[in-house]
A and B are shown apart, each in its own frame.
Chain A
Amino acid sequence: MAIECEDQELLEGFLTETTELLEKLDDDLVALEKAPADTELMNGIFRSIHTVKGASSFLGFELLVKVTHKTEDVLNRLRRSELAVTPEIMDVILEAVDLVKLLVSDIKGGDIVEREIDGTIAKLLPYLSDNAKEATVLRQPAPATPVETPAAEQQGTAAADPPPAPEPQAAPETTPAKGAPPPPPAKTPSPPAARDVDKKADDLSDNSTVRVDVKRLDDLMNQVGELVLERNRMMQLNTDFQGGGEDSAFGEEFSKLSKRISFVTSELQMQVLKMRMIPVEKVFKKFPRIVRNMARDLGKEVDLVVLGEETELDRSVVDEIGDPLIHLIRNAMDHGLETPDERTAAGKPRKGTLILSAAHEGNQIVISIKDDGKGIDPDRIARKAKEKGLVTDEQLAAMGQREILDLIFLPGFSTKEKATDLSGRGVGMDVVRTNIKKLNGIIDIKSELGQGSEFILKLPLTLAIIQSLLVEVEDETYSIPLAAVLETLRVEEREFHVIGGQEVLKLRNSVLPLMRLQKVFNVAGSGRARTACYVVVVGVAEKRVGLVVSRLLGQQEVAIKSLGKYLANLPGIAGSTILGDGRVTLIIDPAGLLENSDGSGGGRIAA
């Protein structure tokens, strides 16, 4: 059934507000479970649900009203301490919130699907009857969807707040319109339908519009004003010059002007960039819920610590990091952290800690997922990789500790004997690698056996303007994204070694494969003899490679220009940029280069 809302603006306002409230709700509910005595949090949650209910009844979304109303009633009882916060109640409330999200996303989609809501409501009902106590909840009368079995060990931690004396209360079957404006003529979607709680609820957030801080907009306007001033100055200068002004005076004025213009432009660039930035919190706030559910499923006790969620990064990046982070968190929960018993036996606190943090570091954002679990055992990884036929003995012998840890990113790798619904198919880490590679990011693994492991993601802040390292390959100039560059070295060519036909460089305690850009790009030799050259160590996801170039020219901020459809998908080339002198320089795509060197070869051969 299509939605016929006369006032489109009203509907949009409702959707924006509701979406925001719901996004926060998940996080708050999980927090509430941890701190059931926090009345302020409790009231906040209650208000959110109440607002959603009021607005939806005003707009006549009946399904939404029904669900939110019952949820509100249960929350109300929790608020009055007639019920205690238990994992079971939270499960049901979270399920109801999921349903609300689903219904809202239906409305957003412009079509009200007739969904079955009675199952969820039936689960909420038992908590509303007078004698409902957290412990005495009977089997829910919902036959279709069985309730999760209560996890015994969690009971103790969460149910610390015993319910006070039962206060007789009228059955809360009152009509919804309390405090809310009178409902307009409503269109009733009748309930029964297939209940597909799919991923749709996750896609509530809207990516087509941006909310920008008014202050930022004002700043932007100021910057543009300054730019206009400078332009006027420039035009004046030109007029003076045409009129036959003195050359020396012009030179001086012009150099001042260019400095100011350069300053204003870079400020402007920063401002515009900032408008595209959103806090990483948008992604992070999904995680407490995921961690909670996983912990319950796995029978583990986990404390999730989130740091630096206010760190900002480009929207395009934020949209891409959600999936890899979920996989890394799953990985840490499933493989990293031990069960409470194992932990006690190892002399660690029962509760494992998972630290998720984000921070800016230069022009990058560094996201780390750290657990204090059992760490990654390189021997086990090596053995498993060999069993699965992913590597040979020879390859293993040539690998350092780092390279062995990197094996976990191979598609098909898994240490699990059996695939579960959580992990074990050998896909997750491959997803992580693919997404991070797409973003020109770097993955680092730190692990100490028995102490825990840490996955560090380094991502560029934005994808439109990047810091790059300009290098010369014989007589051609190329630009390498600085985000991928780990270090540069000046080396003599005789320091290179050849292992299995592959040129390598021994760098501290690892063996770095080398790639000569001159060969890869078929650059004509300049005829100059050189003994020393430069090696630019670049990282792509978990891989490292040294690019051999003739000279380093320096660092520059460049705007990426596409090469167009005709030249799209060139192996090893990410795009191009225009240098200060107007020349076009190609930007190297380290990920593409590495992929090509893996033996698959590019689709095209240069003629």
Chain B
Amino acid sequence: METALQTRVEVARSELIQLVSFKLEEEEYGVNVLKVREIIRMPTITRVPNTPHYIEGVINLRGKVIPIISMRKRFSLPEGETSSQTRIMVMDMDGELMGFVVDAVSEVIRISESEIQPPPAVVNSAVEQECLSGVINQTERLLFFLDLEKLISRDERQMFSGIL
């Protein structure tokens, strides 16, 4: 009885998930592919005044106006030049579309959930602990698995309470 339950949990843990991996300042990150709507090149961005500095502004995505957040600025990385590799990942955040500017989008990878390890207590990464939901350690590379919804909802709370 006990062991049967154990196996079932194992099976569930090893379910495959797909991640979109992207680069930021030479580090690699991944987000759940189901959250990513599309990946676009940099369009003209309209600046929105009186917003936190990491909000680049808003863009027109086929008739919808969506906010754009610079991941570099959000994680206090040095500002980089916009290159031909720069992309905006349009993601669905709790029903609202939002764009994140990243240095480059690399690929979609498949991993089994068991490969995701809990994040170490002290991470050598620019990303805040809170939105880091795991680390994926494959032979030749290290990937940080992010939960951006957590990041956004925290930002929102702070904006409304006027801390930022």
Residue of A nearest to B58 (CB): A584
Stretch of B30-38, B59-67, B78-86, B107-115 on the interface side: B59-67
Q: Which residue of A565, A570, A578, A602 is within 8 Å of B48 (Cβ)?
A: A570
Binds B, one of A75-83, A394-402, A519-527: A519-527
Contact check, A566 vs B98: say whether CB atoms are below 8 A apart.
yes
Task: Determine whether A39 belongs to the interface, using a CB cutoff of 8 Å to chain B.
Answer: no
- Tell me whether A578 and B65 are in contact (CB under 8 A): yes
Known: A566-B96, A578-B60. A606 touches B53 (CB 8 A): yes
Asked if B46 CB lies within 8 Å of chain A CBs, one says yes
Q: Is the CB of A604 within 8 A of B47?
A: no
Query: B50: which A residues are within 8 A, CB to CB?
Result: 521-522, 570-573, 602, 604-606
Asked whether any CB of chain B lies closer than 8 Å to the CB of A363, the reply is no
Query: Complex: how many Å from CA A578 to CA B49?
Result: 17
Binds A, one of B4-12, B18-26, B126-134, B156-164: B156-164
How far is B60's CA from A569's CA once the two chains are assembled, in angstroms?
Answer: 20
Give Cα distance in the complex from A195 to B67, angstroms.
Answer: 52
How many whole Å from B96's CB to the nearest CB in chain A? 5
Secondary structure call for the A interface: loop
Distance to closest chain B CB from A57 (angstroms): 49
Q: Which of A476, A586, A604, A605 has the most CB of B within 10 A?
A: A604
Q: B164 touching A607 by the CB < 8 A rule?
A: yes
Q: Is B58 a contact partner of A567 (Cβ separation < 8 A)?
A: yes
* Assembly CA distance A584 to B62 (angstroms): 11
Which residue of B51, B93, B161 is within 8 Å of A606 (Cβ)? B51
User: Which applies to chain B's interface (DSSP): helix, strand, loop or mixed?
Assistant: mixed
Whether A567 and B48, one on each chain, are in contact in the complex, defined by CB atoms closer than 8 angstroms, is yes
* CA–CA, A160 and B136, complex, Å: 93
Least CB distance from A436 to B in Å reads 25
Are A520 and B49 in contact, CB atoms less than 8 angstroms apart? Answer: yes
Chain B residues in 8 Å Cβ range of A578: 60, 63, 65
Mark out the residues of chain A between 504 and 524 whose CB falls within 8 Å of any chain B CB in the assembled complex. Answer: 520-523
The answer on a CB contact under 8 Å between A576 and B49 is no
Q: Is the CB of B67 within 8 A of A564?
A: yes
Are A604 and B164 in touch, CB under 8 angstroms?
yes
Chain A contacts for B44, CB-based, 8 A: 582-583
B46 touches A607 (CB 8 A): no
- Say whether A604 contacts B67, CB under 8 Å: no
A179 at the interface (CB under 8 A from B): no
Is B152 an interface position by the 8 A CB rule? yes
B162 contacts A584, C-beta separation under 8 Å? no
Q: Which residue of A lies closest to B161 (CB)?
A: A603
CB proximity of A560 to chain B, nearest CB, Å: 10
Q: Quick one: which of A522, A562, A585 contacts B46, CB cutoff 8 A?
A: A585
Q: CB-CB < 8 A to B46: which residues of A? A: 476, 576, 583-586
Pairwise interchain contact B64-A561, C-beta atoms closer than 8 A = yes
Given A584-B60, A606-B49, answer yes or no on A566-B164 (Cβ-Cβ < 8 Å): no
Partner of B156, one of A563, A566, A571, A572: A566
Please name the residue on chain B nearest to A561 by beta carbon: B65
- State whether B164 touches A565 (Cβ < 8 A): no
A573 to B48, CA, bound (A): 9
Interface of chain B residues 63 through 81 with chain A (CB within 8 A): 63-67
Given A604-B162, A604-B164, A607-B164, the answer on whether A567 and B49 have CB atoms closer than 8 Å is no
Q: Which residues of B have CB within 8 Å of A604?
A: 50-52, 159, 162, 164
Alpha-carbon distance between A91 and B67 when the two chains are bound, in angstroms? 58
- Whether B55 is near chain A, meaning CB under 8 Å from some CB there, is yes
Let me know if A576 and B156 touch, CB within 8 A: no
Collect the chain A residues with CB atoms within 8 Å of residue B47's CB: 476
B52 engages A569 (CB within 8 Å): no
Q: Does B160 contact A569, Cβ atoms closer than 8 Å?
A: yes
Which one, B53, B58, B63, B156, contacts A565 given CB within 8 A?
Answer: B156
| Interface residue from A523, A562, A583 paired with B49 (Cβ < 8 Å) | A523
Instruction: Give the residues in chain B near A522, CB-CB below 8 Å.
Output: 49-50
Give the contacts of A555-607 with B (CB-CB under 8 A).
561-567, 569-573, 576, 578, 582-586, 602-607
| Contacting pair B53 A607 (CB below 8 A) | yes
Closest to B43 in A: A582
Chain B residues with CB below 8 A from A520, complex form: 49
- Give Cα A569–Cα B156 distance, bound, in whole angstroms: 11
**Nearest B-chain residue to A478, judged by Cβ:** B49
Query: In the complex, what's the smallest C-beta–C-beta distance from B95 to chain A, in angstroms?
Result: 9
- How far, in Å, is A572 (CB) from chain B's closest CB? 7
Give every chain A residue within 8 A of B48 (Cβ-Cβ). Answer: 563, 567, 570, 573, 586
Query: Would you mind naming 27 contact pairs between A and B with Cβ atoms under 8 Å apart?
Result: A520-B49, A521-B49, A522-B49, A523-B49, A561-B65, A563-B65, A564-B66, A566-B67, A566-B93, A566-B98, A566-B156, A567-B51, A570-B50, A572-B50, A576-B46, A583-B46, A583-B60, A584-B58, A586-B48, A586-B58, A603-B160, A604-B51, A604-B159, A604-B162, A605-B164, A606-B49, A607-B53
Interface residues of A (CB under 8 A from B): 476, 520-523, 561-567, 569-573, 576, 578, 582-586, 602-607
Instruction: Give the 4 A-B CB pairs with smallest separation, nearest first.
Output: A521-B49, A603-B162, A607-B53, A584-B46
